[in-house]
A and B are shown apart, each in its own frame.
Chain A
Amino acid sequence: MKEKILLSKRGKEFIVAKRILAMLLALLMVTALFAGCGSGTSEKAANDSGKAKGESKSDTPNAPVTIKFIQNSANGGREDVLKSMIDNFQTKYPNITVDYEIIAYSDYYTKLNTMLSAGSEAPDVFEVGYENFAQYASKGLLKDITDIVANDKDFKTENMKKLAYDAYNYNGKQMGICTDFTGCIMYYNKDLFDSKGLEYPNENWTWENELEAALKLTDESKGIWGTVSPLQVYEFYKTIAQNGGSIWGADGKTVTVNSKECVEALQWMLDKSYKYKVQPPFTSDIYTQPDADWRAFEEGRIAMLRNGTWQFGEFEKNAKCNWDIILEPGNTQKAHHFFSNGLVMYKGSKKDEAAWTFMKYMAIDPFVVNTRIEANWNIPVLNDDDVMKAYYEKTPPEHKKVATALLDSLVLPPLGPIPEKWAELQQVLGDELEKAKYGKVTAQEALDAAKEKIEKLFE
């Protein structure tokens, strides 16, 4: 007691400092205590997988193993469908537990990249679209599954649609498997065609046929448009292919985005609005408001619409007109683009067998395929007409087969020699297309400028 009163001010502060230090240490220890706490089901599984990872690669087929899986395509409405697929998988393979997470598409790659950066948190299997697949493959983040596929007696590559399956091949090595896709085709309003006594579009149609019909069908006084197609990068690279053009030359390195064929194609896209007036001006609500184009189609105000296969369910429910689909008319050839989802394996995963079993299941297992078809959730890539019969028989639209037929004239996203710069390429090309869209530059000027900017990306 006596010592305390005799302490100088500095001495008092020293005691206070010690007390603070003690409290901080206590806080630290409490933190460490809490480290295990927190209610997260995936955390528990993460601990389990931590233990499983400690074991050497398990060759015993029945050793319990947990694989970590993340994806995004189920977000916003399909969570329960995915759950039923995974539950069925775990019933079929009771020794494999799938610890999965669904993330919104807009944030998916941010989270994926963060998890990959921390190594221990990286998922064993994750979903990628084709464009991102090439980037991850080029960065060496994916496992080469060529051997695993070859050794799997239950899996035959002929079971899958060739172009879609090959899309996930990088430099001759199979690095992933395509599980499903959506694509863009042309919807047409049967009632409008009937009202003018016109024949429906068929698969031999070219741009000329489309223009002819659109001229007869457009009726501005009633607010009816003959044809509507968006103008953006994806539509662009598909349309130039329909005219025999492409962004990259035959050597795969020269930029040919301003070739005669490409300029003609862009001019065609613009002319429909500006010259022939069979398409709404790009400043109109149909183009600028979200969802306005397909809603207008539902209301019967558009005769021909290029849009995605994901609208089947929506149109079936809400379209006020009779409609069907057809392959897009090309000019010199047909071309379609698609949005594919595939599953890949992380390079550092130690659960190859289990991961591949899961990946294969999600692509070709009959339960998965049928569930997809029933839920109208994207299109399986199976090359088996018997199994796909259920898909084709689910109408509308009547010509459902068109949806898979588009895979035969597929043009992949033009990643070129710089797949890691796909986002930048889209940006520069998109900027120039915007300028042309609003009439600020001509088609030739826009594509010349795009060529320059794309070439700059090489540096």
Chain B
Amino acid sequence: MIQNSKERAKRILLHAIFILLSAVFIFPFLWMFMGAFKDDVEVIKMPPTLLPSKFNFDNFRTISELFPVSRFLLNSIFVSFTSTFLQLLFCAMAAYVFAKIKFSGKEILFTLFLITMMVPKQLTMITLYRIFVNLNLQNTYLGLILPSTYNALGIFLMRQHIRTIPDSLSEVATVDGASHFKIFFKIILPLCKPALATVGILGFMESWNSFLWPLIITSSTELATLPLGLSKLQGRWTTAWNLLMAGNVISTVPILLVYLFAQKYFIKSLAQSGIKG
């Protein structure tokens, strides 16, 4: 507390700015969250009220009567977790190959992978759809999951991380007779936890919020994911905003939990280091 008043003033100002910014950023979420508990008149009142006049779960009840919300939730969870898991597996394996194994044409292949990042999804959507129809995968879980199992950005991020792992580690293992698979699973992967957490969060969020692909590939309500299910709440002329907000809350809470969980893990592994001495 030996700071002079000038330092104190600077700190207070900085804190004030940050608090203001946080309030501005958090307000939409708060408004959405509170809106889930309001009735249809109060939810769009201007100026907006923060706390609902009557705190009730009516909206959630209405939604679950109208649609199989638990089914949508389960579908979303199943599809997101499966595709994230597969994505982590494949991205990490590909990244290991690009980072540690030497073969001719490696750089060209990697560049080609990166170039795919520049192609917008809308462009490939129709062709992808036709391929899946030919494979008879329309309206199946596999059809929902497969396109999310590859991610050029994930490969790139993981490769960057794996490159920082010293070659000495894998060389030691090779001398002992370990195959690439052993090196990958026993040595490299445990050291990649921060990168895995990052790619995992990104992949999970993308899969969870994914709307266009599930819209195209599924045609029955039993396979619908949450974003698709929520779209059923929107009529052409009118929208029940309070119901929609309730749906959004259902959709956001799991992702928030995943993020909080991964964040803890993320910070924990940052504190660890790979090689001692």
Residues of A at the B interface (CB closer than 8 Å) are 12-13, 16, 31, 34-43, 46, 72-73, 75-77, 79, 101-107, 110-111, 114, 117-118, 120-121, 182, 285, 289-292, 295, 308, 310, 314
Contacts and interface: CB of A to CB of B under 8 A. Distances in A.
Contacts of A43: 138-140, 219-220
A35 B137 contact: yes
Given A76-B233, A106-B231, A37 B140 contact: yes
B222 A118 contact: no
11 contacts: A35-B142, A39-B223, A40-B140, A40-B219, A46-B139, A75-B236, A105-B235, A111-B215, A111-B216, A121-B138, A308-B237
Contacts of B241: 290
A69 to B, nearest CB: 11
Contact of A73 (B139, B179, B236): B236
Contacts of A117: 126, 129-130
Interface string B225-238: 00000011111111
A290 B44 contact: yes
Nearest to A100: B219
Contacts of B126: 114, 117-118
B84 interface: no
A313 to B, nearest CB: 10
Contacts of A72: 236
Interface string B25-47: 00000000000000001001010
Contacts, number: 114
Contact of A16 (B44, B181, B216, B239): B181
Contacts of B220: 39-43, 101
Contacts of B133: 118, 120-121
A291 B181 CA distance: 60
A41 B224 CA distance: 12
Interface of B: 41, 44, 46, 125-126, 129-130, 133, 135-143, 179-181, 211-212, 215-216, 218-220, 222-223, 231-241
A315 to B, nearest CB: 12
A34 B135 CA distance: 10
A45 to B, nearest CB: 9
B129 A34 contact: no
B223 A38 contact: yes
A111 B126 CA distance: 10
B150 to A, nearest CB: 14
A441 to B, nearest CB: 28
A35 B135 CA distance: 7
B139 A75 contact: no
Contacts of B180: 13, 16
Nearest to B126: A117
B231 A104 contact: yes
B139 to A, nearest CB: 4
Contacts of B130: 117-118
A40 B223 contact: yes
Contacts of A114: 125-126, 129, 216
A12 B178 CA distance: 11
Contacts of A40: 139-140, 218-220, 222-223
Contacts of B238: 76, 291, 310, 314
B133 to A, nearest CB: 5
A423 to B, nearest CB: 16
Nearest to B67: A79
A267 B179 CA distance: 80
* Closest CB pairs A-B (n = 7): A76-B235, A38-B140, A40-B139, A105-B236, A40-B220, A104-B231, A43-B139
A295 B43 CA distance: 13
B223 A75 contact: no
Contacts of B129: 114, 117-118
B218 A104 contact: no
Contacts of A42: 139, 219-220
A39 B68 CA distance: 15
B136 A36 contact: yes
A35 B140 contact: yes
Given A38-B139, A310-B238, 16 more contacts: A38-B141, A38-B223, A40-B218, A40-B222, A43-B219, A76-B232, A101-B219, A106-B234, A107-B211, A107-B231, A114-B125, A117-B129, A182-B237, A285-B46, A295-B41, A310-B237
Nearest to A41: B220
B237 to A, nearest CB: 5
Contacts of A308: 237
B222 A39 contact: yes
Nearest to A79: B232
Q: Which residue of B129, B139, B234 has the most chain A CB atoms within 10 A of its CB atom?
A: B139
